[in-house]
Structure 1
Amino acid sequence: MNAEALLAKHFGADANACRIVLEHSRLVADKALRVARFLGDPALDLGFIEEAALLHDIGVCRTRSAGIGCSGDAPYILHGIIGREILETESLPRHALVCERHIGVGLTADDILRQNLPLPPRDMVPISREETIICFADLFFSKKPDTLRHEKSCDEVRRNLGTFGEHKVTIFEEWLTIFTT
C-alpha cells in the first residue's frame, strides 16, 4: 500500500492541500512510531501505525478547508467519517477506523449530541492501542501552513482540548502517563 499515492489520488487537483496533509501526517506518523517504540511492546503493529497515521486525514480532501486549499463541499468536522468511507472503499477497513476515531481524543455520542455536530450520534473514540497512539500523536500537530512543523507543547494541547471540556484534558493526561513515562 502506497499512502502517498492514495492521498494524491483522492486529493486530485488540490495538490497544495495534499502536500500539507501529507507533511502533517508524516509528523504524526513519526511521533506515533516514537511512542510505539518507547512502549517496546512487540504486539504493536508498527507498519500499521505508520500507514494509518499517514492516511488518518485523507477525508480532508472532500471538505471546505480554504486555509489549506481544500475545495470540497463538506464541513471539516466530517473529515473523519469521510476518511472512513474512502478507506473502506479502498479495502482498508482497519485504517478506516483510525480516520473516524482520531478527532481530538475521540468523540462520544454524547459529545456529538451536546455540541449539535453534524455527525451520526455514535461513539467515535480510539479503541485499539494503535488507534490511541495515532490519536495522541495527532494532538501535537496542526495543518495550519504557518505552524505545520511546530510540535505543540503539552500545555498547548491541554488548552486546545480544554475548550471542549475538562473531561477531554483528563483523557489526554491519562495518555501522557502511558505514552511518556
Structure 2
Amino acid sequence: MNVEHILTRHFGEETRACAIVLEHSRMVADKALRIARTLNDPDLDLRFIEEAALLHDIGVCGTDSPGIGCSGDSPYILHGIIGREILEAEGLPRHAMVCERHIGVGLTVDDIVRQGLPLPLREMVPVTREERIICYADLFFSKKGNSLNHEKSPPEIRKGLIRHGEHRVAIFEQWLLEFGD
C-alpha cells in the first residue's frame, strides 16, 4: 500500500497541510514502531502499526484548521470521524478505526456528553494493542508550527491531558508503564 499516495490524494500533493501531517505522522510511526519492537511481541502487526500511524490524521484534510493550512468545513475535533470515513472508503476498515480512536487517549460516550462534543455517541477509545501504541506515540508530537519537531516529555503530556480530566492522565500513566518513555 502506498500510504503517501493516499494522503496526497486527500490533501493535495503540494499543500502545506500535507507536508505537516506527513511529517507529524512519520514521527508518530517511528516512535510507535520503536515501542512495538521493544515490546518484542510476535503478535503485534508492525506493518499495520506503521501504515495506520502514517494515516491516523488523514481526516485533518476536512477540517477548518488554518494554522496548518486546512480549509475544510468541519471543526478539528471531527478529524477522527472524517479519517474513519475516508479510510473505510479506501477499503481500510482496520486503519479507519485508528483514526476514530486516537483522539487524546480516546473518547468515551461520557467524555462526549460531558464536554458537549459534536461527535456521535459511541465509544472511541483504542481497543487493540496496536491502536493503543499508535495513540500513545501520537501524544508525544504536535502538528503546531514551531513544535512540529519537538518530542514532548511525559510532564508536558500530563499537563495537556489534565485539562480534560485526571482520568486521562491515569490512562497515560498506564500506557507509560506498558510502553515506556
Name the TM-score, length of structure 2 as normaliser: 0.98
1:145 maps to 145
Please state if 1:176 is matched with 2:169. no
Contact 1:14–1:71 (Cα < 8 Å) also in 2: no
The change in CA–CA distance for 1:47 and 1:99 in structure 2 (over 3 A counts) is same
Correspondence for 2:124: 124
Where in structure 2 are the equivalents of 1:31-46 lying within 5 Å?
Answer: 31-46=31-46
**Any idea what the Cα deviations from partners look like across 1:51-104, whole Å, max 9, x if unmatched?**
000000000000000000001000000000000000000000000000000000
1:63 corresponds to: 63
Give the 5 Å matches for 1:23-172. 23-172=23-172
In 1: Cα distance, 2:127 partner to 2:27 partner: 22
The one-letter amino acid of 1:55's match is L
**Unaligned 5+ runs, structure 1:** none
Q: Report the CA distance between 1:14 and its aligned residue.
A: 6.7
Q: Distance in 2 between matches of 1:42 and 1:145?
A: 37
The AA in structure 2 aligned to 1:35 is I
* Counterpart-to-counterpart distance in 2, 1:81 and 1:62: 10
Cα distance, 1:12 vs structure 2: 2.2
> How large is the Cα RMSD of the aligned pairs?
1.0
Q: Distance in 2 between matches of 1:14 and 1:131?
A: 29
Task: Tell me the equivalent position of 1:10.
Answer: 10
1:163–1:149 CA distance, 2 compared to 1 (3 A): same
TM-score by structure 1 length?
0.98
Aligned residues: 181
**3-state SS in 1 of match to 2:143:** coil
Give the ranges of 4+ consecutive aligned residues of structure 1 lying more than 4 Å apart after TM superposition.
none
1:35-56 Cα deviation digits (max 9, x unpaired) = 1011000110000000000000
- Determine the C-alpha separation between the residues in 1 that align with 2:79 and 2:154: 24
Aligned partners of 2:32, 2:162: CA distance in 1, in Å?
22
Deviation at 1:180, TM superposition (A): 1.1
CA distance in 2, matches of 1:24, 1:135: 13
The SS at the match of 2:79 is helix
Aligned partner letter, 1:122: R
Counterpart residue identity of residue 20, structure 1: I
Q: Secondary structure at the match of 2:19?
A: helix
